[in-house]
Amino acid sequence: MLYESQEMRMRMEVGKQQPFERKSRRTRRSTITIVEEDDEEEERLEIVDLSGMSMESLPVNPSINLGAICKLDLSKNNLQSMPESLTARLLNLVELDMHSNELKSIPNSIGCLSKLKVLNVSGNLLLSLPKTIENCRSLEELIANFNMLTHLPDTIGFELINLKKLCVNSNKLAYLPYSTSHLTNLRVLDARLNCLRSLPDDLENLINLEILNVSQNFQYLTKLPYSVGFLISLHELDVSYNKISELPDSIGCLKKLQKLSVEGNCLVSPPPDVVEKGIIAVKQYLCDKINGLHDKSPKKQSWFGKLARCSTFNGPNIPRDHDGDGFDSPNRQSIDAIASPRFLVMLSPRRLLSPKTYFSK
């Protein structure tokens, strides 16, 4: 009992006064040695684990070299803020975990972390993400679940070109920025449990997306964009517990789709008896609808020519539309989004004439 009391007292003292020192058994640090091929110089990087120490703040001048940290775990504390000056010095940081704290904001100096690949800020009190996060162009995973986010930076999709996983579930998002449809390396998009009214129109640009979850937006989400049927790598689609009455016919063209969740909607097309038979029956029904085999099915002529040219399905007698491509006008964007260099690249002749070639490089 005496030993346990002394250990607990030590943890509290270290947590409040010197959280970066080695005195606490809860503060775990390990060293990674990296050898540069060009100059063969050794670079010693450290992994620092300060999770679950009930810390309320971090020191501005810690006792260790911040530039030597490659992974920092600050999760499960009581942090309300992170010093700007401290964040700016984490120049070799690759992974930052701050989930389950009381953060109300992320420092703008997060944009200095050019090597950052994983950022987890779930379970905080964030209302927004700083625009400077777009400077973290090495970022591959952004996890911001269980916050109070009402919007994401408008141009986030133009700048975070290496992002593979975007998880923003359990927030208060009314929409995803138009630029989201330009995250061509994205594999997972999780936006369930929000207040989404709609999704970006040009989802066909997400050629590597494998999982799309927009479930439980309840009465807010009433329809899906027709372009959802052009997500050529999609394996899993969850649109359950929304207010969707009709699935886009184009979903029948998703050859790689293995899991489709639509329960909790008021579906009319496909009808409930088809849905009960499973995903194969649903896809067949939607393909038949495209081919005009359902008399009451409205034909979306403007998309048929594109479907046929892309060889996304094998339906016979597909009418082609030569008058126009039938795209809806995109939502109005901010000047920042329109002026972004990434946006101008997406409108280049190379992009328009050969989308598959452009995005595969």
Is the confidence at residue 21, as pLDDT, over 50? no
pLDDT given at position 63: 75
pLDDT given at position 294: 66
Is the confidence at residue 38, as pLDDT, over 50? no
Cα separation, 344 vs 338, in Å, equals: 8
Query: What percentage of the chain reaches a pLDDT higher than 90?
Result: 65
B/e letters for 60-96, b = 16+ CB within 10 Å, e = fewer, are eebeeebebbbbbbbbbbebeebbeebbbbbebbbbb
Q: How confident is the model at residue 60 (pLDDT cuts 50, 70, 90)?
A: confident
Question: Average pLDDT, stretch 63-82?
Answer: 93
If DSSP codes are grouped into helix, strand and coil, which group holds residue 248? coil
User: Which residue would you say has higher pLDDT here, 78 or 7?
Assistant: 78
B/e letters for 153-181, b = 16+ CB within 10 Å, e = fewer, are bbbbbbbbbbbbbbbbbbbebebbbbbbb
Mean pLDDT over all residues of the chain? 79
Cα separation, 287 vs 289, in Å, equals: 5
Is the confidence at residue 13, as pLDDT, over 80? no
Topology of domain 43-56+65-293 in CATH is 3.80.10
Question: Average pLDDT, stretch 215-229?
Answer: 96
pLDDT given at position 223: 95
- pLDDT 10s digits, 94-122: 999 999 999 999 999 999 999 999 999 99
This prediction has a pTM of 0.74
